[in-house]
Amino acid sequence: MTKTDPRMELLSPAGSFESLRTAVLYGADAVYLGGEMYGLRAKARNFEKEELAQAVAYAHQHDVKVYVTVNIIAHNEHLTGIEEYLIYLNSIGVDALIMADAGLIQIARTTVPDMEIHLSTQASATNYQTFRFWASQGVKRIVAAREISLAEMSEIREKIPEGLTIEAFAHGAMCISISGRCLLSTYLSSRDSNLGLCSQPCRWSYRLMEETRPGEYFPITEGEEGTYIFNSKDLCMVEYLPQMQKAGIGSIKIEGRMKTPLYVAMVTKVYREALDDLATDPDLYESKKEYYKEQLSLVSHRDYTTGFYLGKPGSEDQIYSSASYIKEIDFAGKVLKDEGESLLIEQRGKFLKGEELFLLLPESPMIPLVVSYIRAEDGTEQESAPHAQQKVRIPCPEGSMIPEGTILVRKI
């Protein structure tokens, strides 16, 4: 979005090809993903070179853009081969590079000068002068640091070049360190979070030890299981989309390249619906806020927070008192084909004959589905679907056409 274009892009995570297809089906305008090198989610499945080309082609067939993460904080060793990699990304039609390291950005500007560069949140851009600087270096979009309020965002928008887009996180996991630039993982587990290897020690339980009393560990009480003083709540801004739009944010980003296709489906679907409702009729959007929140509460999450957007949060606003997640639905399966009377599905979680499941449709409310039969591919009747990724047939709701890739969920 620029000063003259009020529309906000919906940017969804794609940690795997399956998640990419899911994000496309459920309404993403763009997806972000990583290759096997230079990205900050080394533990995600990510994409090999050939897969990257296939992913870009698939997304473009559906008018969805693809942004590739090249956002590590590089050391000398990481400079070898970077030009070849960038040239390859350019050759397969990647829409933009997400980058944080000034040296890598300089290499990109000379190696693939026509490639669009988006500044990663890892670069911690928190003021309009920093935005102006990166614009002068050829950056076309900046992913704002998560520590910026909406009031600050509005001032930034007014004081930066019109063609520079602001992207900001709207939903997902938060990091206690400034824009994710954390050393805790490196120190405690020798896994560098700035190279994509974070072991998430902020989610661990901690005790206090006084230096003259070694071996005496004192709890910092928050709950029976101990304290989680580094553990943040999850961000959720679905109630504040008009405010994000008014502040000049052009792209809202969903965190979650490590999350399941069910998570990607539900969160993308809800934000797609909310954005479309807002564009159609602001009163309709306002009337459905509780519905959006209810839907987002079904999928795995920690307690929700608005982060720094509405002002600096207190500990009660951001720190989470547990390492556990809240969820009300499980990933039961994925539709491979609507065969008329039956759905051919790929099972992801055990379910039983006679159980009620729900079809998470891209553009309508969930449809209940009683599993009156389960048949293996050879037609054999089964009482349950117990094997992961087993292909089975179950009834198709009468009068419905279920798109390939539709997620099937089971309420817990």
Whether residues 133 and 78 share a domain: the answer is yes
202 and 137 assigned to the same domain: no
Q: Looking at residue 398, what is its pLDDT?
A: 83
Domain with residue 86: its CATH number is 3.20.20.70
| 198 part of a folded domain | yes
- Report the pLDDT value the prediction gives residue 78, as an integer from 0 to 100: 87
DSSP letter string over 300-323?
SBPPEE-TTTTS---HHHHB-S-S
Closest by alpha carbon to 141, among 113, 175, 114, 118?
Answer: 118
pLDDT of residue 156: 98
171 lies in some domain: yes
Distance of alpha carbon 49 from alpha carbon 47, whole angstroms? 6
pLDDT of residue 2: 43
Regarding whether 397 and 306 lie in a shared domain, the answer is: no
In a domain, 107, yes or no: yes
**290/298 Cα distance (integer angstroms):** 13
> Quick check: is 2 in a domain?
no
Neighbours of 287 (CB within 10 A): 11
Residues 157 and 291 in one domain: yes
Considering only CA atoms, which of 245, 325, 319 is closest in space to residue 277?
Answer: 245
Residues 53 and 171 in one domain: yes
| C-alpha torsion 276→303→172→207, nearest 10 | 170
Contact 14, 32 (CB under 8 A): yes
pLDDT in tens, 204-255: 676 667 778 787 776 665 555 555 566 678 899 999 999 999 999 999 999 9
pLDDT at residue number 43:
54
pTM of the model: 0.86
- In this structure, the answer to whether residues 82 and 203 fall within a common structural domain is no
**Structure confidence at residue 176 (pLDDT):** 67
**Domain harbouring 336, CATH code:** 2.40.30.10
Q: Is 59 part of a structural domain of the chain?
A: yes
User: Same structural domain for residues 35 and 21?
Assistant: yes
How many CB atoms lie under 10 A from the CB of residue 389? 9
pLDDT of residue 387: 84
Which pair of structure tokens corresponds to residue 323?
A: 């390492």
Task: Write down the pLDDT at residue 73.
Answer: 85
- Is 33 a member of any domain? yes
Decide which of 283, 318, 353 is a domain's last residue: 318
Q: Both 186 and 173 in a single domain?
A: no
Check whether residue 263 and residue 292 sit in a common domain. Answer: yes
Domain that holds residue 153: 9-177+232-318
Distance CA 284, CA 190 (A): 50
The answer to the question of residue 81 being in a domain is yes
pLDDT of residue 313: 67
What is the count of structural domains for the chain? 3
**Predicted local distance difference test score (pLDDT) of residue 372:** 96
pLDDT at 221: 54
Q: What parts of the chain have a pLDDT lower than 50?
A: 1-4
Angle between helices 261-280 and 289-298 (to 10 degrees): 170
Pair 126, 260 in one domain: yes
Separation between Cα atoms, residue 365 and residue 394, nearest integer Å: 20
Write the burial class of residue 113 (CB in 10 Å: 0-12 exposed, 13-18 middle, 19+ buried): exposed
Residue 227 lies in a domain: no
In 152-250, at which residue ranges do the beta strands (DSSP E only) sit?
165-172, 207-208, 218-219, 234-236
Which 8-state DSSP code applies to residue 387?
S
| Angle formed by the axes of helices 49-61 and 17-25, nearest 10° | 10
Judgement on whether residues 337 and 369 belong to the same structural domain of the protein: yes
Q: What backbone torsions phi and psi does residue 116 show, to the nearest 5 degrees?
A: -75, 135
Q: Who's near 222: CB < 8 A, 6+ residues apart?
A: 228, 229, 321
Q: Which two tokens stand for residue 212?
A: 């003259």
Same-domain check for residues 105 and 165? yes
* Spatial separation of the C-alpha atoms in residues 412 and 394, rounded to whole Å: 20
Rounded to the nearest 5 percent, the helix, strand and coil shares of the chain are: 30, 25, 45
CA atoms within 13 A on the CB side of 30: 19
